[in-house]
Amino acid sequence: MRAFIITLLVWLMASPVMARQSESVDTGKVTASIVSSHDSVAPGQEFYIALRTVLDEGWHTYWRNPGDSGEPVQISWDLPEGVTAGEISWPLPRPIPTGPIVNYGFEGTPLFPVKFTVSPDIEIGSVITLVSNFYYLVCEEICIPEYGSASLSIAVGEPAEDARWSAEIETALMASPKRGSVKGAIEKSGETVELSFLNLPDGDFSQAYFFPYDQGVLGHSTPQGVTVGDAGLRLTSSADFLWENDVPESFEGVLTYEQGGDLSGTNVLLAVGQSLDIGKAAISNAAIGGVTLWTAIIGALIGGLILNLMPCVFPVISIKALSIAKTAHGERRVIRREAWLYTAGVMATFLVLTLVLLALKAGGAEIGWGFQLQSPKMVAALAVLLFVIGLNLLGAFEFGGGLQNTGQSLTQKSGAAGSFFTGALAVIVATPCTAPLMAGAVGYALAAPALITLAIFMALAIGFALPFLVIAYVPGLLSKLPKPGPWMASFKELLSFPMFAASIWLVWVLSLQAGEDGVLAVLSAMLAVAIAIWCLKRKSFVAKAIGALSILAAIAMPLSIATAGTSDDVATAELKGEAWSPARVAELQADGRPIFVDFTAAWCVTCKVNEKLVLNTKKTQKLFEETNTAFLIADWTNKDDVIAAELAKYGRAGVPLYLVYSNNSVSPVILPQTLSYSVIRDAIAGE
């Protein structure tokens, strides 16, 4: 009784300082306090104190693994003798997309409980005062480190729970993930990481997500592909830097899923280098950064439509337009047949490119949209092919056989072969261009499982072929086309000049990829084509033999070209900037300088237009000088796995990509693919 009375008196005397909730501390963007599960505790008892945070709307803070950027919430304690503190019981994190990156953290009012233990030897009637020093990084468009300190006093005596905070802390502890019966494994194949899980609890795993405890296990900004099987679950993502060195025997993290309409999670230990059989599977995919399977498919479809208007496609599309004009007022059945054959050529070529791309990815290659034009041999072959097409359009040769087997003859022939191969060639020359809405869709496709990749690229193919199908099936459009006449001969000759221009552009690209030797080889191949045309017009056997040999030489010379120089050499020579690297970005950020990063390639038409009209202007260069903005160039003209991985990090699989790190932001802003001076200026200013 005496001890009880002393405890009561102490409690009454100290009540102003023994609140179960400390005074609130406004650190700027967060109001924080510490709260206790108990009003008083007994010697030897365990209880909980939690850091309670109320974040301003739109701001977030970070989990123990913050993801692509950020720092975790940190709590340190000043404790009296006889009291010990445990680790934070972390709430379930959520992916927080911030532009192109994905962070792991919390919004709203997260609670961070910590278990405390009171020594059995502590004196009844005493008061223990606990001081919490906390730190958190809070971010919206900018990030602000905030600090605070709060204290809480609790009487030692008869244990008594606090009615309000005990319930809230218990709810937080129940929601905090714990180790269950789930069995997990993780295995790396190329640049892809596969996570498999068995013994799953009841719940909806269609949008499951795995949060590793350690940074560097998974590419945080890579969408996690979801495969739900009848025996388990598989997630796919990209490998990060931890796989480059000695890999531990296991990784640990939190697997989240829906249970009863609420988010739930479980701690899982993943055995490294193993894969579990999840049984018969049906693929779905989680949405990251606002992109889902259906938005990617719709974006690809619309992007394919717009791709027809891009400058790199015009030379070949114009051939098809000429063909339609010739037959517009003829038999509709023939028009529709040729439209479908053109579509078949487009679809077949997209399918082949997609299968090659998937095969290269499976082998560990870092590739993306337009990957074939990273091959100097392909660039040289296309330059020669477009040169031949231009000569044919100009009327330099007309053959019923012989050169009719070259690319131009196939596109100019009437009937099945002409329509099919026009579609094929249009796809090949279209790949240097990235139309609006394509970038996100293609980036999503290359991060997704193979079937989803195939579906998105087929949607892109349908969009690309759709205009000619619409024209073929809408009589009103056909009737508005001019009737065939003498004008078509002049128009055909006029179309040769875009072909020659495209060929010249490809030779220039080749000069950056393969140097002087590459240019010499492709120009020699063009000379061989001219010799072949002249010889094959002759009747003598010797002339025809020389013509045939010239054709073989024209084919062989592009195939002999090898890459010369590095992308860094190309970037430094072409633009007044530094070669990009992640290390250089980090150095410049440490110096507090704004940074403009140009992900480009010599074969990217959009990139070159932006460079000519915006980046290489005196106005923009002056802006960079006045703002002390570093200009970094990531040149993807030749294959570069580091650049490809960085593009994938921002959900892209092709160029252009423009990033601006302003001096008041830790994460970059992604600029539109069509640049303007005002867009660059505002991004550098952080507006």
Q: pLDDT tens digit string along 301-334?
A: 887 777 776 655 655 666 656 566 655 555 677 7
> What's 168's domain CATH number?
2.60.40.1250
Q: Which of 126, 157, 175 is the last residue of a domain?
A: 175
When pLDDT is cut at 50, 70 and 90, the band that residue 485 belongs to is low
Residue of 535, 569, 572 lying closest to 551 (CA atoms): 535
User: What are the pLDDT digits (tens) for 399-420?
Assistant: 443 333 334 444 444 456 667 8
Q: CB neighbours of 49 closer than 8 A, spacing ≥ 6?
A: 34, 35, 36, 37, 113, 114, 116, 130, 132, 152
Q: Where are the alpha helices (DSSP H) in 311-449?
A: 314-327, 332-362, 376-394, 407-412, 416-430, 438-447
Rounded to whole angstroms, the Cα distance separating 322 from 489 reads 10
Residue 361 scores a pLDDT above 90 = no
**Where a domain ends, among 516, 536, 559?**
559
Minimal CA–CA distance to 395: which of 526, 488, 477, 285?
488
- Check which CATH number belongs to the domain holding 677 and give it: 3.40.30.10
Phi-psi region of 402 (alpha: psi -120 to 50; beta: other; left: phi over 0): left
Which tokens belong to 594? 């704004």
- Separation of alpha carbons 426 and 26, rounded Å: 61
Q: In this structure, what are the phi and psi dihedrals at residue 65, rounded to the nearest 5 degrees?
A: -110, 110
Spatial separation of the C-alpha atoms in residues 567 and 235, rounded to whole Å: 34
- Domain-terminating residue out of 175, 204, 229: 175
Distance CA 94, CA 100 (A): 16
The enclosing domain of 237 has a CATH number of 2.60.40
Q: What integer pLDDT is reported at residue 406 of this predicted model?
A: 39
Both tokens of residue 162? 């606090």
Q: How many domains does the chain have?
A: 4
Tell me which residue of 487, 536, 502, 534 sits closest to 386, measured CA to CA: 502
**Residue predicted with more confidence, 193 or 572:** 193
Q: For residue 597, what pLDDT band results from cuts at 50, 70 and 90?
A: very high
Contact 628, 684 (CB under 8 A): no
Range of the structural domain that residue 316 is part of:
293-559
Residues 397 and 391 sit within 8 Å (Cβ to Cβ): yes
The token duo for 165 is 């905070």
User: Taking residues 144-173, what's their average pLDDT?
Assistant: 90
pLDDT of 327 reads 57
Contacting residues for 174 by C-beta, under 8 A, at least 6 apart: none
pLDDT of res. 317: 60
Per-residue pLDDT tens for 19-41? Answer: 478 889 998 899 999 999 999 99
DSSP state of 62: E
DSSP conformational letter for 261? T
Same domain, 422 and 522: yes
pLDDT tens sequence across 619-662: 888 889 889 999 999 988 777 888 888 887 787 767 788 999 88
440 and 490 assigned to the same domain: yes
Q: Where are the beta strands (DSSP E) in 525-614?
A: 578-579, 595-600
Q: Which pair of structure tokens corresponds to residue 199? A: 């013994």
Cβ-contact 61, 30 below 8 angstroms? yes
Beta bridge partners of 634: 599
Same domain for 167 and 134: yes
Choose among 490, 514, 668: nearest CA to 595: 668
- Do residue 395 and residue 507 come from a single domain? yes
> Does the pLDDT value for residue 366 go beyond 80?
no
Q: Could you give the CA distance from residue 173 to residue 115 in angstroms, rounded to a whole number?
A: 10
Averaged pLDDT, 153-174: 91
Least confident of 9-13, 540-544, 646-650: 9-13
- Listed residue (207, 197, 206, 195) closest to 288, CA to CA: 207
The residues with which 402 forms a beta bridge, in sequence order, are none
> What are 51's strand-pairing partners?
34, 112
Give the amino acid at 258: E
Residues 435 and 330 in one domain: yes
359 and 267 in a common domain? no
Same domain, 497 and 641: no
Task: Please tell me the total number of residues recorded for the chain in this structure.
Answer: 687
What integer pLDDT is reported at residue 100 of this predicted model? 61
Look at residue 341 and give its three-state secondary structure: helix
Q: Mapping DSSP to helix (H, G, I), strand (E, B) and coil, where does residue 32 land?
A: strand
* Peptide bond before residue 159 is cis, with ω within 30 degrees of 0: no
Say yes or no to pLDDT of 289 above 50. no
The residue to which tokens 């094959």 are assigned: 536
- Among the residues of 159-215, which ranges form H helices? 163-175
Between 63-67, 179-183, 437-441, 498-502, the lowest mean confidence (pLDDT) is in 437-441
Q: What is the pLDDT of residues 435-479, one digit of tens each?
A: 555 555 666 666 566 777 788 888 888 888 888 788 777 766 655
pLDDT of 290 over the 60 cut: no
Q: Which two tokens stand for residue 554?
A: 């024209």
Position 35 scores a pLDDT of: 95
- Look over the chain and give the mean of its residue pLDDT values, rounded to a whole number: 79
What's the pLDDT score for residue 566?
44
Same domain (yes/no): 151, 185: no
Average pLDDT, stretch 527-541?
86
The reply to whether 366 and 501 lie within a common domain is yes
E-strand ranges in 199-316 read 204-212, 225-229, 232-238, 250-259, 262-272, 281-285
Tell me the whole-structure pTM to 2 decimals. 0.47
* HSE, side-chain direction, 13 A CA sphere, residue 55: 21
pLDDT of residue 46 exceeding 90, the answer is yes
d(CA 608, CA 512): 13
Q: Name the pLDDT band for 256 (thresholds 50, 70, 90).
A: very high
Give CA 320 to chain center in angstroms.
34
pLDDT given at position 476: 62
How far apart are the C-alpha atoms of 43 and 18, rounded to whole Å? Answer: 17
> Above pLDDT 70, what percent of the chain?
77
| 544 and 585 together in one domain | no
Residues 536 and 595 reside in one and the same domain:
no
DSSP reduced 3-state for 642: helix
Query: 166 with 280, same domain?
Result: no
